[in-house]
Amino acid sequence: PENVTIKVIPDTACDTSVQILITDNNEDKYGWGEPFSIQENVNGEWKDLDYISDKVGWIAIAYTLNENNQRIQKVDIEEYYGKLDKGIYRVVKTIYDNGNIDLYSDEFEIK
């Protein structure tokens, strides 16, 4: 979708969590909830990480954006994936717009 960005907030990425800044400048805003997934760049290809449990659950909530059409979300990676190994990652947020659409953050590195 146009007018939407997801950026990693500098210096917040670690092997257990990251904070992202969602900006949605559409007139009709999308619903922004808790669900996310993590992908790792492996030899130039993005691969979905596996959850550490088959029993992943999310609260059903839609957060409002602030006056700048933004929301900061802390992504608790460790709770769903365990600690990340060294590598390049990105956060995936899925929205519904006549079907599910995946939106990707910029990359972050775990050293």
pLDDT for 8: 98
In degrees, rounded to 5, the angle at the alpha carbon of residue 34 between the alpha carbons of residues 27 and 73 is 75
Over the stretch 7-35, which tens digit does the pLDDT of each residue have?
A: 999 999 999 999 999 999 999 899 898 99
Collapsing DSSP to helix, strand or coil, 32 comes out as strand
Residue type present at position 70: Q
Over the stretch 62-78, which tens digit does the pLDDT of each residue have?
A: 888 999 999 999 999 99
- Its pTM stands at 0.93
Range with the lowest mean pLDDT among 49-58, 64-73, 90-99?
Answer: 49-58
